[in-house]
Amino acid sequence: MRDSIDERAPATSDLVLRTTLDSRLQAAVEARLDAMLAGPGRAADVSQGAVVAIDAASGAVRAMAGGRDYRTSPFNRATQAR
């Protein structure tokens, strides 16, 4: 994204960034992933996980979580795992 933005553009320009993410669903996905990893995941010795919620009709990504905590593990399991 940064490559396509003119760095000389004034900070007050009317740049609009659109996303398909649903902030409420995103928060729910993060909370549920954390709960699963803290409960059943811990019991099964699973420390990380990933969730991608996609709108089946449009293909839009509505929510995505690539792991438990980016600060402790910056590897994004939703986009980088193979």
Q: Which whole number is the average pLDDT over 46-55?
A: 97
Q: Decide if pLDDT at 48 tops 80.
A: yes
Ramachandran assignment for 81, one of left (phi > 0), alpha (psi -120 to 50 degrees), beta (any other): beta
Q: Are 68 and 47 in contact (CB under 8 A)?
A: yes
pTM: 0.75
Residue 3: the pLDDT is: 62
Query: How far apart are alpha carbons 76 and 69 in whole angstroms?
Result: 10
